[in-house]
Amino acid sequence: MKTRVICLAAGEGKRMKSSLPKVLHPLCGLPMVQWALAAVESVDAQPILVVGHGRDEVMQTVGDAAQYAVQARQLGTGHAVMTARDYLDDTVDCVLVTAADMPLLTAQTIRRLCAAMDGDADAAVLTAVLDDAFGYGRILRDDAGHITGIVEQRDATEAQRTICEINTAVYIFKRERLLDALDHLTCDNDQNEYYLTDAIGYLAEKGGKIAGVTADAGEAMGVNDRVQLSQAAAVLRRRINEEHMRAGVTLIGPEQTYIDYGVTIGPDTVVWPNNHLTGGTVIGKNCLLLPGSRIVASRVGDRVTIESSVLTQASVGDDTTVGPFAYMRPHSVAGARVKIGDFVEIKNANIGDDTKISHLTYVGDADVGRRVNLGCGVVFVNYDGKHKYRSVVDDDAFIGCNTNLVAPVHVGSGAFTAAGSTITQDVPADALAIARSRQVNKEGWVSPKKKG
């Protein structure tokens, strides 16, 4: 049975008070609309996204993951579905309608709703039961339990307002039944809009069978303002964290651990609170992420320890330690068993295996070999005010404390630089480079000044 999905994403979202279209607000690494599309991807590989407000931005973000229908004027949910009508040819059996501002719906719930069409149902409604249903449309059933319609809060009688089963605004229809109902929708209401809920009432009046599938109330939440955005993010973050823990990752404080969609973490890795892992980061096995790091779009090997540091588009090899308070900027690569210590900044540089950069050092635009020692306060001076240049330090070199390597410069294998040197010329292999003023001691210089 072929099912097409129509996802409604045309609304302005005024309560968000934002220039960004509501459905593009990010949640745990994905725009809200992509969470909604992920829930239905097993039903329709290329759903129909109804766009309106901010449609160019929405279409650019979603790209080829959807087909598009444009609702130039927002005249209600029924009207939104009408704009997608051209996609509903006679090869389609069922039409699933969902909303792009419902990021908590799961694929499992969507599959249960679709399964309701395996029998003789003409349509099915996803419902939820709330302790306080104020503001929601109520599900009306007959004495046999069949759905007969949906009544909005403002139109409900006192008796109907006591009903706790609500409409989530997610539906599935037999195609021909939906098209018939759309032909009979009117905008004769106080909003002058075409409501898709009226299609349910129309089909019930015509003797159609309307099934009801109950979802967890939490999944039914729509996002209309920043408060609900935060609430949805908390739910998604908990789901992501629980998935990692079930896969063998230890989260010491899951409530204070922020892991985005698409992050991969190997088993037996331990993550302490206040770590932020984003951008498709990959963390290996048996790693230790101590508190306070932000790791963005980076790859971290096995048995790595990172503490209170920032890594952005960086790569870290096995058995390496980073931090505390280190900064690995884009295109930085550290090999295996490297030490990147406190207040070390790496930028667009390659660091070879077993090299030690213990503290207070800047390595920018450089290729550093294996088993190199960079002393405290070393600076790779890579910028002359107009251009940036690379420097090379070969294997087994020793760069003394407070050395400035003025690029482009090449330090040979096994060479040493004396502490406090400013190196402006290449250093041959196994040489000692000294580039500093000779010390002069002036005996008795202080005493006369004290007397004065």
> Mind telling me the catalytic residues?
359
CA distance 342 to 222: 44
Q: Whose structure tokens read 């500093």? A: 436
Q: Measured between alpha carbons, how far is 358 from 340 in angstroms, rounded to an integer?
A: 6
Say how far apart CA 30 and CA 51 lie, in whole Å. 18
Dist. CA 286–CA 304, nearest whole Å: 7
Judge contact between 397 and 355, C-beta under 8 A.
no
Distance, in Å, from the CA atom of 51 to the CA atom of 438, rounded to the nearest integer, reads 73
Rounded-to-integer distance, Cα 406 and Cα 390, Å: 9
Give the integer Cα–Cα distance in Å for 421 and 115.
75
State how far the Cα of 191 lies from the Cα of 184, in Å rounded to an integer: 17
d(CA 423, CA 408): 10
Q: Among candidates 59, 63, 60, 80, which has minimal Cα distance to 71? A: 80
CA–CA gap between residue 9 and residue 68 (Å, rounded): 10
Token pair listed for 209: 């069978």
* Integer Cα distance of 279 and 263 in angstroms: 7
Picking from 73, 82, 67, 25, the residue whose alpha carbon sits closest to that of residue 52 is 73
Rounded to 5 degrees, what are φ and ψ at 31? -60, 150
Q: What single letter denotes the amino acid at residue 347?
A: K
